[in-house]
Homo-oligomer: A and B are copies of this chain.
Amino acid sequence: MTNERDSIKTKQRIIVSAIELFAKDGFDGVSVDLIAKKADVNKAMIYYYFKNKAKLYEKVIKTLLDNIYEQIVLDIKKAKKPRDELKIFIETFCNFAWNNPYLSSLMLAELGSGAKNLPSDMFVGLKKIFLLLSNILKKGEEKGCFFDVKPIIIHFMIIGTINLFISTKDLRNRVVQKIDADVCNECDEKELSSYVYKKIVKMLKGEQPC
């Protein structure tokens, strides 16, 4: 009666619900019951498909990180020079996070907590993204167009800025009633990514163009 399609859809519904809920309330703040209700599946199915809550969480993180990684890899092919690669890295990351605001919350939560909910071999996802950037930066440094680069710090600068900006959107709106230019409530995705790119480039600018 039920076929593979259904089972895949069920799994998908679970993951989608889990992403949203985990992002909003964190691993400990969400109950399996709630995920099941939101996904409209029987709770036991979650255990059937994912073994337990922690494994589901891992799957959620892995799914998000894999998706963004592949998107960046795909987009970056269009670039020729390190600076363009950097531009695309920032734009794609920003675009993805803007449209999947869960990602920002989850990344900050995971990184901030020392990834206590993740098993060691899960950092791969995070590291792969970092390596993408790291390679861009090192290539640029070799070519002389980037100067004085500490990859991990630049990495945190980029994703920290973007994640914090996106995940605090509601918060900032809550806290300032009147329009307040300082907190940039009306800034859109383009403004954010282009500003970050512009500033990072200026900050790293070497003697050669590229």
User: How far is it, in angstroms, between the C-alpha of A157 and the C-alpha of B121 when the chains are bound?
Assistant: 28
Q: Which of B109, B161, B182, B184 contacts A112 (CB 8 A)?
A: B109
Q: List residues of A (104-136) whose CB comes within 8 Å of B's CBs.
A: 104-109, 111-116, 120, 123, 127, 134
User: How far is it, in angstroms, between the C-alpha of A113 and the C-alpha of B101 when the chains are bound?
Assistant: 11
Please choose the segment from A20-28, A56-64, A65-73, A76-84 that sits at the chain B interface, where 4 or more of its residues have CB less than 8 A away: A20-28
Determine whether the beta carbon of A25 is less than 8 Å from that of B165.
no
Q: CB of A49 within 8 A of chain B? A: no
User: How far is it, in angstroms, between the C-alpha of A15 and the C-alpha of B200 when the chains are bound?
Assistant: 39
Q: CB of A88 within 8 A of chain B? A: no
Number of copies: 4
Q: CB of A144 within 8 A of chain B? A: no
How many residues belonging to A are interface residues under a CB distance threshold of 8 Å?
Answer: 56
Q: List residues of A (131-187) whose CB comes within 8 Å of B's CBs.
A: 134, 148, 150-153, 156-157, 159-161, 163-165, 167-168, 170-172, 174-175, 182-184, 187
User: How far is it, in angstroms, between the C-alpha of A71 and the C-alpha of B163 when the chains are bound?
Assistant: 27
A167: chain B residues at CB < 8 Å are 111-114
Determine whether the beta carbon of B171 is less than 8 Å from that of A123.
yes
Q: CB of A199 within 8 A of chain B? A: yes
* 20 contacting pairs across A/B (C-beta < 8 A): A27-B29, A28-B28, A105-B114, A106-B112, A107-B112, A112-B167, A114-B171, A120-B175, A123-B171, A148-B198, A150-B184, A152-B182, A152-B184, A153-B165, A153-B192, A153-B196, A156-B160, A156-B164, A160-B164, A202-B205
3 pairs of A and B residues whose beta carbons are closest in the complex: A160-B160, A108-B112, A28-B28
